[in-house]
Amino acid sequence: MDISEIGKFALLDRLNSGFETKQQSTIKAFDDAAVVAAASNKTKQICSAVFLEGIHFNLVYTPMKHLGYKVVTYAVSKIVAMNAVPQQILVSAGVSSRFSVQDIESFYEGIRAACSEYSVDLVENNLTASLTGMTISVTAVGEASENSLCYRSGAKVHDLLCLSGSIGAAYMGLQVLERERRIFETNHVQPKLEGYDYVLQKQLRPQARLDMLKTFEEHGIKPSSMTDIADGLASDILHICKQSNAGVRIYLDKIPIAVETFAVCEEMNFDAVTAALNGGDDFELLFTLPVTDYETIKSLSDFEIIGYITDSSQGAYLVTPEGNELKIKAQGWTFVTE
């Protein structure tokens, strides 16, 4: 069905009706602005992100439902990276005439699944026309008491650098999808995606590590700094170093990479460490803990210690098993020519 047949406001009504309120702090949704309660001694976290077709996602191999799920995961993960509980999201989508009502509904089905998974409420929702493809903006709102918040700026010399799970898989999932797309476009051979479940799942349906908030609470752990792996370990650790005015040593052989990811890397002749460093989209938590926490955490299997914080004068380096030090560089940013 064409969107023009049903009309913007009727379509929005239909899309909004499938969302149930889960958070007590949600006071009003779908007005000029959303209203959330603000309890005493609490703080609100707000993050916002834009996703553009052709830059951040390719609809040739990304099902609309997975896209909806993933954009919510992205925003929720940023709130979790503050050690805060995500509670509400706001969505705006720009869509061109290429998209049907069914496409948009699939997209919102994914958003609904994510809202349910993360217990967040959709409180604002807008649609707009677009000249070219799809544009998505997601804003997430979270809550935390001020003293539980973790900024990127709190890392101290000697702190342990930790990671909540394996990385690089989402990037290799993308490489598989891109390879199959190219093969399909040149030879019209149907994509062969069997056997790549792990990396494809990590790319198409990543999870925000909301469960880690509980782990921290249960063990009385408070990271001195934290961020999530959105741009890749290299860029993300450099954010912590810069904002904490610190250096870092990461042990190359401690970076957690899943065997499934290694297998795909080997098959595609791709360096697994490069995938882990520059890949991004893993949504694992990267955080630092005071070295005095070592006794508490040494037996925990929820995360890995991958290095330690140094003085800023010592720079940011990767340490190879042979003891060589490789400078960590942020990924470049490439502009696309119109």
* Binding of residue 152 to a second copy (CB under 8 A): yes
Q: How far is CA 38 from the centre of its chain?
A: 26
Q: Are 93 and 128 in contact (CB under 8 A)?
A: yes
Region binding a second copy by CB under 8 A among candidate stretches 163-171, 179-187, 315-323, 325-333:
325-333
d(CA 86, CA 39): 15
Q: Alpha-carbon dihedral of residues 269, 273, 279, 282, nearest 10 degrees?
A: 120
Our CB check for a second copy shows the closer of 125 and 203 to be: 125
Q: Of residues 52-81, which lie at the interface with a second copy (CB under 8 A)?
A: 52-56, 78-79, 81
Closest-CA residue to 166 (of 195, 194, 197, 206): 206
Residues 83-122 that bind a second copy (CB under 8 A): 84, 88, 90, 92-98
Conformation bin of residue 171: beta by default, left when phi > 0, alpha when psi is -120 to 50: alpha
149 vs 273 by CB, closer to a second copy: 149
Shortest spacing between CB 318 and a second copy, in angstroms: 20
Strand partners, 255: none
> Under the criterion CB under 8 A, does residue 274 sit at the interface with a second copy?
no
Q: Could you give the CA distance from residue 255 to residue 277 in angstroms, rounded to a whole number?
A: 9
Q: Does 167 bind a second copy (CB under 8 A)?
A: no
Helices 169-187 and 197-204: crossing angle in degrees, nearest 10, is 100
Q: x-or-dash pattern for a second copy, window 129-148, by CB under 8 A?
A: xxxxx-x-x-xxxxx--x--
Choosing from 21, 24, 33, 193, the residue that interacts with a second copy (CB under 8 A) is 33
**Does 123 help bind a second copy (rule: CB under 8 A)?**
yes
Nearest to a second copy of 46, 291 (CB atom): 46
DSSP 159: P
CB closer to a second copy, 261 vs 288? 288
